[in-house]
């Protein structure tokens, strides 16, 4: 393998492959792959490399400063007679500068989320590359496709899905939240047994709760009354079970006592009394 081939970038490796794909007579699809897939890979590679420089640089400064700071402070514990003149002021300003530098680097690292962005850009870049190579080789999820033309729409959908997930992760919490919020009153009505529901709850079970805030309060009170009814029913059933067990135990005890008495009387009679 030549050195020139090793130094080729991803664009040079893939560009010729995209040109050789036989998609349609119209070369628009080949241009779509270049302008969407290949462009996104190059963009995320540049973002990853740029973020990596700042991320590794700030971490390197923080690591070196964290090592030097306690070492400088420990030197000040030596005998002052053995230390150079004005050593205290030098160590003071040096330790202050190192502390400020470490704090500033950590602040910039957290402010721009360099660690999270570096990991996110790296993952997206590798996912896009993996998706591209699977499509070019018709392997993985594209193994059932007979040609690149047949798998073209599925490939475009996968690329857009990866891009959408990355954008949602990068701007998490900044967009409009379209997820359905949990409705406690509605879920409580659906899970409450039918025998413990009021007539109003049975009629409005299929309807959504309105904007009246007192409706939720009434639902909660009805649920509480239903729970108390369940508690009373369990207590009554428990008491009936205890009573039945007591009666049965009394019968068994009296029967066993009678049998023991009869046996003792028979053993007490002499043989010659007949």
| pLDDT bracket for residue 272 (50, 70, 90) | very low
DSSP characters over 243-254: HHHHHHHHHHHH
Per-residue pLDDT of 11-58, as tens digits, reads: 888 888 888 888 876 668 888 899 999 999 999 999 999 999 999 999
DSSP states of 166-200:
HHHHHTTTTS---SPPP-HHHHHHHHS-GGGS-HH
**Can you give the residue ranges of every domain in the chain?**
3-170, 183-206+215-265
DSSP state of 196: G
Helices H, strands E: what count in the chain? 10, 0
Return the pLDDT at 98: 92
The secondary element (H helix, E strand) that includes residue 222 is helix 213-268
Q: Of 41-45, 102-106, 127-131, 171-175, which gets the smallest average pLDDT?
A: 171-175
- The Cα–Cα gap between 188 and 184 comes to 6
What confidence tens digit (pLDDT) does each residue in 122-137 have? 999 999 999 999 999 9
When comparing pLDDT for 78 and 92, which is higher? 92
Using a 10 angstrom Cβ sphere, with 0-12 exposed, 13-18 middle and 19 or more buried, the burial of residue 153 is exposed
Closest CA to 33 of 208, 209, 152, 188: 152
Whole-Å CA distances, 63 to 10, 71, 91, 96, 159: 33, 13, 19, 16, 38
């Amino acid at each position: 393998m030549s050195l020139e081939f090793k130094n080729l970038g991803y664009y040079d490796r893939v560009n010729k492959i995209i040109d050789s794909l036989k998609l349609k007579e119209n070369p628009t699809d080949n241009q779509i792959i270049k302008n969407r897939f290949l462009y996104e890979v190059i963009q995320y590679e540049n973002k990853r490399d740029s973020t990596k420089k700042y991320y590794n640089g700030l971490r390197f400064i923080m690591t070196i400063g964290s090592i030097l700071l306690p070492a400088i402070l420990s030197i000040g514990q030596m005998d002052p007679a053995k230390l150079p003149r004005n050593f205290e002021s030098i160590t003071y300003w040096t330790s202050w500068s190192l502390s400020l530098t470490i704090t500033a680097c950590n602040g910039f690292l957290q402010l721009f989320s360099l660690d999270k962005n570096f990991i996110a850009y790296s993952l997206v870049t590798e996912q896009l590359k993996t998706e591209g190579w699977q499509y070019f080789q018709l392997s993985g999820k594209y193994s059932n496709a007979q040609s690149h033309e047949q798998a073209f729409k599925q490939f475009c959908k996968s690329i857009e899905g990866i891009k959408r997930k990355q954008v949602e992760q990068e701007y998490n919490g900044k967009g409009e939240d379209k997820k359905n919020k949990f409705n406690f009153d509605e879920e409580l009505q659906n899970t409450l047994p039918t025998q413990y529901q009021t007539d109003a709850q049975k009629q409005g079970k299929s309807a959504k709760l309105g904007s009246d805030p007192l409706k939720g309060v009434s639902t909660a009170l009805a649920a509480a009354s239903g729970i108390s009814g369940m508690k009373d029913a369990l207590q009554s059933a428990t008491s009936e079970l205890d009573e039945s067990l007591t009666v049965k135990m009394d019968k068994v005890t009296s029967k066993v006592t009678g049998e023991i008495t009869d046996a003792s009387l028979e053993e007490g009679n002499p043989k010659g009394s007949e």
